[in-house]
Structure 1
Amino acid sequence: MNFLKQRQDIVLLVIMTLLLVYDFFNGVRLDGGVNQLSLLLIIFGLYLITLNAKKSKTQNEKEILNWQIFITCYLVVLIGLLTAFGGESTSGISLSNVFFWAVVAISIIEIIVQWKKVKHVEAT
């Protein structure tokens, strides 16, 4: 996983994972509770930050593509596992949520566009 070279990538993954665990199992109180909308916005914001940080700090299109595939798959699998372990999102993030799948679909479209760029660059 060459795309996880930088410490900030791992830190962002850990933070996103902890926030999702906290959202799905909110019986574990860290500070007396977090507003559901705030938690949803923080998780979505961190997702955008991880993608944009990769794009602004690296010029390697293939590395960006690998990171985007990894983070999208990681989040879908993590949400699936948290649901399978009996967690229920207080902010509405779930595999049955249409908005969640819309975001995943947008990410997949961007992955396809990025993949075509990488193939075009490799062909020239």
Structure 2
Amino acid sequence: MKKIGWNVAMNLFPFIIYTFLLINDYFPGTVLPDFHLEKINFALFILLLFIGRTREAGLSDVAYAICFHFYILFLIAVFTLAGGESQSGLSLNNIFLWIVFAVSLYDVYKDWRRLKLSNS
């Protein structure tokens, strides 16, 4: 059996964490009790403070960001169709979600253009 590399595990970590957080948002109390949720949010905050990028962004990072964005939208759609209701107001009908999504994708587009120009 092949071992999973550290980079692969670290790339999957946000997908797993956000999946659990969205499950807890749409179906409260089914996966994580509140005290575990607070610990996870605190740990994510600490990780964001102390762990920075160690390399330049590449095309794989652009693809990763696009996949992550659409994965979150996919989860929101699936959990809504499964009968869940977001406690924080996340839904596909929320205009604020679409504005944040568009701005975030524009940022990914700017990174892609910068990479494209630097490689040519």
TM-score by length of 1: 0.71
Shift of 1:59: 1.4
Q: Decide which of 85, 107, 112 is 2:104's aligned counterpart.
A: 107
Q: Secondary structure of the equivalent of 2:53?
A: helix
Q: Where in structure 2 are the equivalents of 1:10-21 lying within 5 Å? A: 10-21=12-23
Uncovered stretches (5+) of structure 2, i.e. residues with no partner: 1-5
* Change over 3 Å in CA distance of 1:64–1:29 after alignment to 2: closer
Q: Decide which of 77, 81, 86 is 1:80's aligned counterpart.
A: 77
Q: CA RMSD in A?
A: 2.5
Amino acid at match of 2:105: I
Shift of 1:63: 2.0
Separation in structure 2 between the aligned mates of residue 83 and residue 103 of structure 1, nearest angstrom: 19
Shift of 1:57: 2.8
Uncovered stretches (5+) of structure 1, i.e. residues with no partner: none
Number of corresponding residues: 105
Identity of aligned residues (%): 28
Alignment correspondent of 1:6: 8
Separation in structure 2 between the aligned mates of residue 117 and residue 29 of structure 1, nearest angstrom: 40
User: Which range is displaced more, 84-93 or 113-122?
Assistant: 113-122
Separation in structure 2 between the aligned mates of residue 57 and residue 63 of structure 1, nearest angstrom: 15
Q: Secondary structure of the equivalent of 1:6?
A: helix
Structure 1 residue ranges, 4+ long, deviating more than 4 angstroms after superposition: none
Larger Rg: 2
Q: Decide which of 64, 69, 86 is 1:67's aligned counterpart.
A: 64
Separation in structure 2 between the aligned mates of residue 21 and residue 57 of structure 1, nearest angstrom: 31
State whether residues 58 and 64 of structure 1, in contact with CA within 8 Å, keep that contact through their aligned partners in structure 2. Answer: no
